Copies of this chain bind each other. A is one copy, B any other.
Amino acid sequence: MTKRIAIYDTTLRDGAQGEGISFSSAAKLRLAKRLDEFGVDYIEGGYAASNPKDMAFFQDIKKAKLTHARVAAFGSTRRANTLVTEDVGTKALIEADTSVVTIFGKSWRFHVKEVLRVSEDENRRMISDTVRFLKRHKKEVIYDAEHFFDGYKDSSEHALSTLKAAKEAGADMLVLCDTNGGTLPYDVHTMTQEVVKAFGSSVGIHTHNDSELAVANSIAAVCAGAVHVQGTINGYGERCGNANLCSIIPGLILKLGCDCLKKGSLKMLTDVSLFVDEMANVRPNPKAAYVGESAFAHKAGMHVDAIRKATQSFEHIEPESVGNERRILVSELSGASNVFLKAIEMGVSLDKSSPEVKEILRELERLEKNGYEFEAAEGSFKMLIQKVLKAHKPFFDLEGFRVIVEKRHKDEPCISEATIKLIVKGETELTVGEGDGPVDALNSALRQALTRFYPGINEVFLTDYRVRILDPEEATAAKTRVLIESSDGAKTWGTVGVSGNIIEASWEALVDSVEYKLFLDEEKKKKRSK
């Protein structure tokens, strides 16, 4: 029988504690809906009573009618020496009106003494009173045993006595927390086994990544009998982050044969990961296990050859099983194999030992020495191949441009204006554009000049713009590399420009982006007319 593991997502609460992470109310709602579709079992929505934004979320989410996930409100045990019926925090947990309530309590004697400053008995009463009260209100109660492993190492007897207090008061799940992320997998395994032996299998795990072991610790706990895993999408969270559900879930399903999520939804993993990054306005980690852009990217010439022979060689799972895909990279180290495969991807047939492949490699090397990087700029790379193959006829010629940004008074907004002079199909076009900033103004002027000849470019919009100052060590002057990401709704592509001047680098990337779009349209037209 396959083992069912409940997935408890705390991206919206513990994840939002991560440096640079903050979700708007609208974003929280969209995220919850997406996590529900994905099939997580619990969504921890926030801290009851911490701030009005979280309380508003609990109201809004009721109207959203989730189909699978249960929403949990998070809070602590009642305060010391207070009646639970009069405790503000506990009241807020009831007011949140969720079917599940998660509370954390203290497992470590050191904390009971130094942070709470109460007796061990009072600490246990704080736990049992709160759990009992919540059960009386018909809540599903999840008990997070904070600092459990540190507490257990200090005194297993004390740590277990706090779990006993929660269990006997009716807690539905005892979650062992590695709050400061310092425990090793071997210890997590042993201690979880002890807890399962003592209290049965309603045991969960909550880990942090301070030792880069959060995923391993979660898996170790499941192997020891835990049936509930708490974590965040992309490992968001304070300090080094919480346990990364994007690595744990495929591990559990594909490697341990566990039953998680809804049937078939593992394929949504990569999209869910990207969506959460987008909502949090965080640049996705390309090296992320399973879901990263580089997770199935192959660079070294030798390996690429091997990959063609047998994908198992350097891929531990099928990229498609988690909704990701294989990528062949272009770079200094790449042999002719890579250029060859890339050309095939583009529908160009090349001979691996042809002079063209060698020339492309030479040109790549020259540009990379000058600071260009094509790994995220497939649009520019493909235009480069076209140029080397002499298959490229420029869609327009630049005569010149001028950009002016002016602030006339400290209280007035800046104005940006760009003028461009181009020759398109033999005609001279002189246009002027305004914009929010200089690149926007240039972009606007460029479109005006081209739209009459190539109406397709009106579909293109810029989705990202990144700037990197290159290490001046290697160059006589610091260079700026601009990466632009564009989309026409159907396709997305990256282009790159490098210059000592940010405007010129942006211009280069902009031109490649537009040219690539025109190239795509031309290819489409050719196909249709065949």
> Which of A's residues lie within 8 Å of B, judged by CB?
16-20, 22, 24, 26-27, 110-111, 114-115, 147, 150, 179-182, 184-186, 209-213, 215-217, 219-220, 223, 235, 238-241, 244, 247, 251, 255-256, 278, 281, 285-290, 292, 294-300, 303, 306, 309-310, 312-317, 329, 331-333, 368, 373, 375, 397-410, 413-414, 416, 436-439, 464-467, 469-471, 473-474, 477-478, 480, 499-504, 507
A-B contacts besides A19-B331, A111-B310, 16 pairs, CB < 8 Å: A19-B299, A20-B286, A110-B312, A111-B313, A147-B313, A212-B244, A213-B216, A281-B470, A400-B407, A402-B405, A403-B403, A404-B404, A405-B503, A414-B503, A438-B503, A464-B469
Contact A296 B239 (CB under 8 A): yes
Contact A219 B185 (CB under 8 A): yes
Contact A416 B19 (CB under 8 A): no
**For residue A220, which residues in chain B have a CB less than 8 angstroms away from its CB?**
185-186
Contact B407 A504 (CB under 8 A): yes
Nearest-CB residue, chain B, relative to A331: B22
**A400→B306 CA distance, assembly (Å):** 61
Contact A115 B309 (CB under 8 A): yes
Please give me the 6 A-B residue pairs with the lowest Cβ-Cβ distance, nearest first: A182-B316, A216-B216, A212-B247, A436-B500, A467-B467, A212-B289
**A404→B403 CA distance, assembly (Å):** 6
Nearest-CB residue, chain B, relative to A210: B316
A465 and B469 contact, Cβ closer than 8 Å, known pairs A223-B186, A240-B294? yes
Contact B503 A179 (CB under 8 A): no
A12 → B minimal CB distance (Å): 13
A471 and B314 contact, Cβ closer than 8 Å, known pairs A241-B287, A405-B503, A410-B400? no
**A347→B319 CA distance, assembly (Å):** 53
**For residue A287, which residues in chain B have a CB less than 8 angstroms away from its CB?**
18-19, 209, 235, 239-241
Contact A185 B185 (CB under 8 A): yes
**A292→B235 CA distance, assembly (Å):** 15
Give the one of A373, A466, A500, A502 with max B CB within 10 A: A502
**For residue A239, which residues in chain B have a CB less than 8 angstroms away from its CB?**
287, 292, 294-298, 314
Contact B22 A332 (CB under 8 A): yes
Contact B215 A477 (CB under 8 A): no
- Count identical subunits in the complex: 2
Contact A333 B184 (CB under 8 A): no
Q: Would you list 24 pairs from A and B whose C-beta atoms are within 8 A, ordered by A residue?
A: A19-B287, A19-B299, A19-B375, A22-B368, A147-B313, A182-B317, A185-B219, A186-B223, A209-B289, A210-B290, A211-B255, A213-B216, A398-B407, A399-B409, A400-B409, A402-B404, A402-B405, A403-B406, A404-B404, A416-B503, A436-B478, A436-B501, A438-B502, A466-B467
**A530→B111 CA distance, assembly (Å):** 43
**For residue A507, which residues in chain B have a CB less than 8 angstroms away from its CB?**
407
**A329→B18 CA distance, assembly (Å):** 10
**For residue A397, which residues in chain B have a CB less than 8 angstroms away from its CB?**
410
Give the one of A215, A290, A397 with max B CB within 10 A: A215
Contact A182 B255 (CB under 8 A): yes
A137 → B minimal CB distance (Å): 24
**For residue A437, which residues in chain B have a CB less than 8 angstroms away from its CB?**
480, 499-504
**A93→B82 CA distance, assembly (Å):** 74
Contact B17 A316 (CB under 8 A): no
**A184→B213 CA distance, assembly (Å):** 12
**For residue A292, which residues in chain B have a CB less than 8 angstroms away from its CB?**
239-240
**A338→B186 CA distance, assembly (Å):** 36
**For residue A114, which residues in chain B have a CB less than 8 angstroms away from its CB?**
309-310
Contact B255 A180 (CB under 8 A): no
**A439→B504 CA distance, assembly (Å):** 13
A376 → B minimal CB distance (Å): 8
**For residue A235, which residues in chain B have a CB less than 8 angstroms away from its CB?**
287
A381 → B minimal CB distance (Å): 14
Contact B438 A405 (CB under 8 A): yes
Contact A314 B399 (CB under 8 A): no
Give the one of A18, A210, A409, A477 with max B CB within 10 A: A210
**For residue A313, which residues in chain B have a CB less than 8 angstroms away from its CB?**
111, 115, 147, 179-180
**A184→B235 CA distance, assembly (Å):** 19
**For residue A111, which residues in chain B have a CB less than 8 angstroms away from its CB?**
310, 313
Nearest-CB residue, chain B, relative to A179: B314
Contact A401 B406 (CB under 8 A): yes
**A303→B217 CA distance, assembly (Å):** 23
Give the contacting residue for A289; candidates B186, B211, B303; CB below 8 A: B211
Contact B368 A238 (CB under 8 A): no
Give the one of A110, A292, A313 with max B CB within 10 A: A313
**For residue A186, which residues in chain B have a CB less than 8 angstroms away from its CB?**
220, 223
**For residue A286, which residues in chain B have a CB less than 8 angstroms away from its CB?**
19-20
**A517→B503 CA distance, assembly (Å):** 28
